[in-house]
């Protein structure tokens, strides 16, 4: 009868348990790293989406505000007005008018009497159209949410090729409006929270000063 060679014997239970423990630890580390990587990717994707949406919203606002004053006339001299409603416009609100259909003087068509403003409670930029659903039937819509702030500054021009004065409220001499949108981005891992500021300087093409430059 042959004797068993101990050197060719299998692993002991202790060795198997030790090997399994090491494998589990390695797998745990791999899964932790994978989870962090996936979370970082999701947050980065969310940040990118937020910035893309904010830039798109800013472009939409800029295009519409640029037409402020279109088709409006000042009776005394016939020069187009910039369309800004001075009593309703300030750092956080912009109210403007335009005769975009160029076929009436009552401004009762959608898009002819519009207000943009920021609502802190929902972190949204809202668009109020006094004729959005038809004459005298207003409509309020969300332009974009997940926004931290919206602000306006007004560049006033007078004279020949002047350096503009900047104010927090518009005047009859306002020729440009600076629209600033701030987006607070979510934190990624241990990095500090970041804020991104998007700015658009909108030329009011129908303001008195801007018409004189053409």
Enumerate the domain spans of the chain: 44-212
Each residue's pLDDT tens digit, 166-202:
999 999 899 999 999 988 776 655 556 677 889 999 9
Report the distance separating Cα 187 and Cα 43, nearest Å: 8
pTM of the model: 0.75
Tokens of residue 178, six digits: 């600076």
Residue 94 has φ and ψ, to the nearest 5°, of: -130, 115
Each residue's pLDDT tens digit, 105-140:
678 889 999 999 999 998 899 999 999 888 888 999
Q: Give the torsion sign (CA, 20, 26, 28, 34).
A: negative
Q: Please name the residues in contact with 189: beta carbons below 8 A apart, sequence gap of 6 or more.
A: 36, 39, 40
Number of H helices, E strands in the chain: 2, 8
* Range with lowest mean pLDDT among 10-19, 94-103, 105-114, 141-150: 10-19
Each residue's pLDDT tens digit, 58-76:
999 999 999 998 888 655 4
Percentage of the chain beyond pLDDT 90 is 35
């Amino acid at each position: 009868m042959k004797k068993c060679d101990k050197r060719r014997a299998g692993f002991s239970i202790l060795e198997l348990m030790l090997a399994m423990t090491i494998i589990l630890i390695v797998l745990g580390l791999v899964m932790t790293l994978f989870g962090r990587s996936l979370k970082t990717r999701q947050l980065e994707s969310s940040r990118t989406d937020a910035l893309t949406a904010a830039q798109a919203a800013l472009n939409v606002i800029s295009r519409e505000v640029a037409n402020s004053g279109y088709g409006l006339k000042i009776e005394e001299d016939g020069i187009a007005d910039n369309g800004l409603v001075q009593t309703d416009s300030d750092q956080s609100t912009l109210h403007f008018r335009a005769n975009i259909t160029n076929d009436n003087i009552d401004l009762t068509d959608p898009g002819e009497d519009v207000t943009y403003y920021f609502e802190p409670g929902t972190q949204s930029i809202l668009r109020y159209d006094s004729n959005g659903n038809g004459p005298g039937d207003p409509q309020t819509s969300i332009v974009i949410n997940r926004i931290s702030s919206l602000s306006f500054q007004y560049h006033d021009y007078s004279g020949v090729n002047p350096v503009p004065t900047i104010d927090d409220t518009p005047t009859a001499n306002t020729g440009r409006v600076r629209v600033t949108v701030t987006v607070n981005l979510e934190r990624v891992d241990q990095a500090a929270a970041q804020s991104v500021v998007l700015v658009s300087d909108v030329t009011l093409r129908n303001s008195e000063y801007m018409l004189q430059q053409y």
